[in-house]
Amino acid sequence: MTRVDKVYGFILPISSEEYARGNKYGSILQAREDKRTGTRIELVEYTEEHHEHLGKVKKTVKNLHLHRRIPGIIRKVIPDNACIIKETSYSSIDKIRTHYHNTHFSKTTFNLTINTITVDGEVRNNPFEYEELEYHDLTHKPRLQTSICYKHVSVEVNKYMLGWIAYEIDKSIKTLLVKHHQNIVIKKGEWMEMTMKELEEMERESFSSES
């Protein structure tokens, strides 16, 4: 079994409440980019519920057809239907838990989770138990920091001769996370005045327009 655990900390010039909206907007932009480049994403479920650990959450379930986004080095060694991933995400005000499961491999063979904690104020101790913490300062100016978004990425691959894929997946996720958080800051003027309700409606419309 190969398991990779990394924690990425994004130092941001926005509050945790603003991050929740900026993160939603960034996800919408990514979905639009995916659609433009031919990556199909199906919104299966969009509900509110009570989570055992997070309390009141928004739950989304998506089927991600990632054939165009998976690096070629991985595509060469996995079957075509292994490129379809089920994403289940639970979002509260300051925490997000997202699980990814492959439709081809079982959960014991492939497991990917991303846990998010956003805190206001100065840099704090790593909220996760894993030591590998890599910071990315996106404030660009001193004294602009108002929050930090910590992302714990855990990739587990339990298949003979394919353990190296866990490291490749982590590298790809890191690239996506850095780009995503850069966009949140760069495009702040586009989403800052929008409410979460407006953003959620925009998200639903972006998926319904695909059907």
Domain ranges of the chain: 2-206
The pLDDT value recorded for residue 142 is 65
* Residue 60 confidence class, pLDDT cut points 50, 70, 90: very high
CATH of 2-206, one of 3.30.530.20, 3.30.460.10, 3.40.50.150, 3.40.50.2300: 3.30.530.20
Distance separating alpha carbons of residues 103 and 180, to the nearest angstrom: 25
- 0.85 cut: is pTM over it? yes
**Partners of 155 in the β-ladder:** 4, 112
Residue with token string 């704090």: 124
Task: Summarize pLDDT for 72-114 with one digit per residue, the tens.
Answer: 888 788 888 888 899 999 999 899 999 999 878 888 889 999 9
| Residue 122 token pair | 């100065």
